[in-house]
């Protein structure tokens, strides 16, 4: 389906410059170089972004180029929801780019008057989303973890987000009281057989909406970096075709979950393919593109919050 492209407007330029200045932390000289304009024009655009209320920590203007990418991604992958944030320039932290947009998307659900059960994964992107959220009262909803919250050393998983969100929105919350990855399949089964864990598992399976990060399974895999898999385990899964993981469950380039490795020992609930409920992935960055593409193609996720460079790369595949 062909859609007309939006032409950039003066507000688009001001919003982009304001985004780079207030969120990206760039100087006006760096903004000028990034946008290919003079320093004086960069200064005027940043001033206009603030004067016209386009920047309030979050971007309050939908840039035309981002709208075009959202429409193209929705058409390509049949998405129920898609938000594309402006990029912050080469080498910038992608979580900083997408966190405010992801926070606004979660807040949209939490403002709904009828109670929802919201299931959440873990990771850097989701933690950034929570940090960018506005405190609110959402006692009608329930928040539940999709994945265990116990790290290999017995400590609480650093990137678990359910309790952190609950502090901001005053909603009942249900952590998943099991290890992220159990040492053996027998221990995982024993944890899952406990009555309190069964209740949390049931809530997660029946959740009305899902928010998850998308992890890559390349040599910089978050699961390896955070100590949940060994190098040998990563090598085994890569040899079997692993490209990505959602809530600790590893899948290949077709979005098929692997029947080996940590998938036999991961705690919590797997996000199944082809679901009808909103399942929104929060992810951006060049190394994540194969993982995001496979999750979209297989409908592990049917919604996406990402940034411009990642959206462009996904559409170029």
Which of these three, 61, 76, 98, is where a domain ends?
A: 61
**In terms of Cα–Cα distance, which of 56, 17, 63 is closest to 40?**
17
Same domain, 131 and 246: yes
Identify whether residues 256 and 125 lie together within a single domain: yes
Rg (CA), the chain: 20
H or E element in which residue 118 lies: strand 117-120
Mutual orientation of helices 185-192 and 195-205 as an angle, nearest 10°?
90
Q: Report how far apart the first and last C-alpha atoms of the chain are (Å, whole number).
A: 17
Q: How many domains does the chain have?
A: 2
One domain, residues 27 and 98 = no
Q: Which residues lie closer than 8 Å to 303 by C-beta, 6 or more apart?
A: 79, 80, 81, 82, 278, 279, 280, 281
The total number of residues written for the chain in this structure:
317
- DSSP letter for 97, please: H
272 and 284, same structural domain? yes
Ordered mean pLDDT values, 10 residues apiece, the chain (317 residues): 61 90 89 92 90 70 87 97 92 91 96 97 94 92 94 79 92 95 96 96 97 97 93 96 97 97 95 95 97 98 98 96
Examine the domain organization and report whether 48 and 10 are in the same domain.
Answer: yes
Sign of CA pseudo-dihedral 311, 105, 93, 124 = negative
Of 70, 130, 73, 121, give the one whose Cα is nearest residue 99. Answer: 130
69 shares a domain with 4: no
Residue 263: name the closest of 281, 280, 245 by CA.
245
Q: Are residues 241 and 277 in the same domain?
A: yes
Q: Tokens at residue 208, please?
A: 């009305």
Residue 13 structural domain: 1-61
Residue 16: give its domain's CATH number: 1.10.10.10
Does one domain contain both 49 and 159? no
Q: Which residues pair with 161 in a beta bridge?
A: none
Q: What's the rounded Cα separation, in Å, for the pair 228 and 216? A: 14
The whole-angstrom separation of Cα 88 and Cα 108 is 24
CATH label of the domain that carries residue 203: 3.40.50.1360
One domain, residues 77 and 32? no
Supply the pLDDT for residue 60: 66
Domain boundary among 61, 80, 107: 61
Boundary of a domain, candidates 44, 61, 78: 61
Tell me: do 39 and 156 sit in the same domain.
no
* Domain identity same for 119 and 141: yes
- In this prediction the pTM is 0.83
Q: Three-state secondary structure along 203-264?
A: HHHCCCEEEEECEECCCCCHHHHCCCCCHHHHHHHHHCCEEEEECCEEEECCCCECCCHHHH
Helix (H) or strand (E) holding 148: strand 142-150
Statement to judge: residues 236 and 105 lie in one domain: yes
């Amino acid at each position: 389906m062909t859609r007309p492209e939006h032409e950039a407007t003066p507000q688009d330029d001001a919003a982009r410059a304001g985004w780079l200045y207030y969120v990206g932390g760039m100087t006006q000289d760096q903004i000028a170089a990034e946008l290919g304009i003079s320093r004086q024009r960069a200064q005027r655009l940043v001033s206009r972004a603030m004067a016209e209320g386009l920047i309030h920590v979050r971007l309050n203007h939908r840039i035309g180029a981002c709208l075009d990418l959202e429409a193209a991604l929705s058409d390509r992958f049949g998405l129920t929801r898609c938000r594309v944030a402006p990029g912050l320039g080469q080498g910038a932290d992608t979580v900083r780019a997408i966190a405010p947009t992801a926070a606004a998307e979660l807040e949209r659900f939490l403002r709904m008057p009828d109670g929802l059960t919201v299931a959440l994964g873990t990771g850097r992107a989701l933690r950034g989303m929570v940090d960018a959220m506005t405190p609110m009262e959402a006692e009608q909803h329930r928040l539940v973890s999709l994945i265990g919250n116990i790290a290999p050393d017995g400590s609480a998983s650093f990137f678990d987000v359910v309790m952190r969100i609950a502090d901001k929105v005053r909603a009942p919350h249900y952590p998943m009281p099991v290890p992220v990855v159990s040492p053996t399949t027998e221990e995982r089964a024993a944890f899952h057989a406990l009555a309190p864990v069964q209740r949390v598992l049931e809530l997660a399976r029946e959740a009305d909406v899902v928010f998850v990060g998308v992890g890559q399974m390349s040599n910089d895999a978050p699961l390896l970096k955070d100590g949940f898999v060994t190098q040998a385990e990563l090598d085994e899964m890569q040899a079997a075709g692993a490209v990505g993981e959602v809530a600790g469950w590893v899948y290949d380039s077709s979005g098929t979950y692997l029947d080996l490795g940590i998938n036999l020992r991961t705690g919590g609930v797997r996000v199944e393919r082809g679901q009808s409920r909103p399942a929104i992935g929060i992810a951006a960055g060049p190394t994540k593109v194969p993982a995001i593409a496979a999750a979209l193609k297989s409908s592990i996720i049917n919604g996406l919050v990402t940034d411009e460079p990642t959206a462009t790369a996904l559409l170029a595949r």
